[in-house]
Amino acid sequence: MTEVADAAARTPDPRGVRKLVRPPRLREGDRVRLVAPCSPVPAERLDAAVGTLRGWGLEVEPAPYVRERHPRLPYLAGPDATRAADLQAAWCDPDVDAVFCVRGGDGAHRTLDLLDFDAMRGAEPKALIGFSDITALHEAFAVELGVATVHGPVVGTRYFVGDAAAQEELRTTLFHPERRILLTSPGAHALVPGRAEGVTFGGNLSLLNDGLATPHSRLSASGGILLLEDIGEDVARIDRMLTHLLRTGWMDGVAGVALGTWTDCPPDPGMVAELMRDRLEPLGVPVLWGLEFGHCAAQLTMPLGVPALLDTHGGSLELAVPGLA
Active site residues: 132, 229, 295
H or E segment to which residue 311 belongs: strand 307-311
Instruction: Give yes or no for a contact between 66 and 37, defined as CB atoms under 8 angstroms apart.
Output: no
Residues with Cβ within 8 Å of 273's Cβ and at least 6 positions away in sequence, in order, are 191, 259, 289
Q: Three-state DSSP class for 30?
A: coil
Distance CA 321, CA 27 (A): 19
Distance CA 199, CA 138 (A): 14
Strands (E), the chain: 31-35, 59-62, 98-101, 127-130, 149-151, 182-184, 189-192, 195-204, 224-231, 256-263, 287-289, 302-304, 307-311, 316-319
Distance CA 172, CA 166 (A): 10
